[in-house]
Structure 1
Amino acid sequence: MNYSILIVEDDNDICKMLEEALIQPDYTIYTAMDGKEALEMFRKHNDLCLILLDLMLPELDGLSVLKKIRETSTVPILILSAKSGEYEKVLGLEFGADDYITKPFSVMELQARVKAFIRRTTQYQKEPEAQSGEKITVGEIEMELDNFIVKKNREIINLTAKEFNLLKLFITHPGKVYTKVQLYKEIWDDNFLNDENVVNVQIRRLREKIETNPSEPEYIKTIWGIGYKLGEFPC
């Protein structure tokens, strides 16, 4: 299977380094040097399985690109940025990024993150064959595992792959409490890097989509000092 990856980076040397780091027989690499070109490439190639996105771009900044892509697509997006502050990380995740790597980063770390995203994409695409027709209902939420549809009160909720897998993990393991370290390992398929922002923001975004009142969640409960679990609903 071939996997298409879009690299959005305005520094030519860094762009070439990223391309060389991701040379694989089953990877097809596209590049864009500014925000406008990034959106053009995104619209042209509808089979992208991952976007590596710099934040500081000419023509159109990375956050604007991210926001525009999220209007129509849930393609995984990994931010690569020299902005290391917590505010920038949280803002990127709030806008819909799946993860965030701060420059400078090691090539090995980048390769590991990309492989983890590819593994999750492969699983996301193959699971329908193994679980064809399977549906799970909890409260007012129904998950159709065969086509990755989530509905609440019969209305479709658009979730990213990470959000879908988070919800699926909780719903298929009722009563189990997950720590942030466990969630990161399960959903990101990677070692926890002592950055709770990624998990916190993804949980908050998921709650905003599925909860009637995100500040008083019914589905994703916080177990203070430990982690999160699925709320209790009558069978």
Structure 2
Amino acid sequence: MDQKNILIVDDHPEIREILRVLLRSGGYHVIEAVNGTEALELLNQSIDLVILDIMMPGISGLKTCEKIREDYNVPILFLTAKTQDSDKSMGLLMGGDDYLAKPFSHSELTARVKALLRRYHEYKGKDTVERDHYLRIADMQINKDFNEVFLNGEEINLTEIEYQILRLMVSYPRKIFSTQMLYESVWNEPYFYTSNGTVMVHIRKLRLKLEDDPQNPKRIVTVWGKGYHIG
């Protein structure tokens, strides 16, 4: 198996050292950046995962994430000392895939990294695909093998998490998915009540990209008290 490349972005050298030691012990190749500007210069298609601190001088982690999302779908794991739900939601809204609060354990870091890398490479796929590899519903086409989505013939740029949620729901268009079902299926982790916010943020992001009027969604419909389904 090819060695995975992980870009660490943190202005604290001791945090970078901890991450470097833990990740290298897991067999990963580590690249380091001290701020968002350097991270954007180092980022390329060979990077498999970005671990990004939110609070940094200069370009913040949130702004760095936003700029990364202009060109890349690489998974982003936010590393932050902040634990309020509003801070976590903001990170996810800006394009992050997951977050890890400081201080963190070796096992928790390893589990998050493995899950993000597994999802990314499982759905990353190949450069070309035949048209019968698509799921179709109304005006949407979703590639069944990797992250490629078209709406009215125009390609839509989704993160891997957004793609997996959409692909799952389109695969079962008559099924109502609760937040628990979505979280356990897509994140492949045990569901807790606090996971609701994570799912809701990604549904909101999907609606912003797919709906003509995100305030009155017709493609991803809420069934109050039950969950969501494809309209």
Fold in common (TM above 0.5): yes
CA distance in 2, matches of 1:114, 1:37: 22
CA contact (8 A) 2:123 2:145 kept: no
CA distance in 2, matches of 1:127, 1:69: 21
CA distance in 2, matches of 1:48, 1:105: 23
CA distance in 1, matches of 2:188, 2:118: 8
- Alignment correspondent of 2:65: 66
Query: Where do residues 152-191 of structure 1 align in structure 2 (5 Å cutoff)?
Result: 152-191=151-190
C-alpha change, 1:12 and 1:196, in structure 2 (3 Å) is same
Letter in 2 for 1:186: S
- 1:177-230 deviation line (CA, Å, top 9, x unaligned): 222122112111222242322111100000111111212212211121221122
- 1:37-67 deviation line (CA, Å, top 9, x unaligned): 111111xx32111101001112321111111
- Alignment correspondent of 1:91: 90
- Alignment correspondent of 2:149: 150
TM-score, scaled to structure 1: 0.89
1:128, distance to aligned residue in structure 2 (A): 8.3
Instruction: Confirm or deny that 1:212 pairs with 2:212.
Output: yes
CA distance in 2, matches of 1:16, 1:133: 47
- 1:116-172 deviation line (CA, Å, top 9, x unaligned): 011112211348899884112111111233553211111111111111111100000
- Alignment correspondent of 1:226: 226
Structure 1 unmatched runs, 5+ = none
CA contact (8 A) 1:79 1:97 kept: yes
CA distance in 2, matches of 1:63, 1:179: 29
CA distance in 1, matches of 2:106, 2:229: 35
- Alignment correspondent of 1:19: 20
CA distance in 1, matches of 2:137, 2:116: 28
Letter in 1 for 2:206: L
C-alpha change, 1:5 and 1:133, in structure 2 (3 Å) is farther
C-alpha change, 1:186 and 1:24, in structure 2 (3 Å) is farther
CA distance in 2, matches of 1:12, 1:171: 44
- Alignment correspondent of 1:197: 197
Structure 2 unmatched runs, 5+ = none
Residue aligned with 2:222, SS: strand
CA distance in 1, matches of 2:160, 2:146: 12
C-alpha change, 1:136 and 1:195, in structure 2 (3 Å) is closer
CA contact (8 A) 1:185 1:191 kept: yes
RMSD after superposition: 2.1
Q: In the comparison of the two structures, how many residue pairs are matched?
A: 229
1:98, distance to aligned residue in structure 2 (A): 0.8
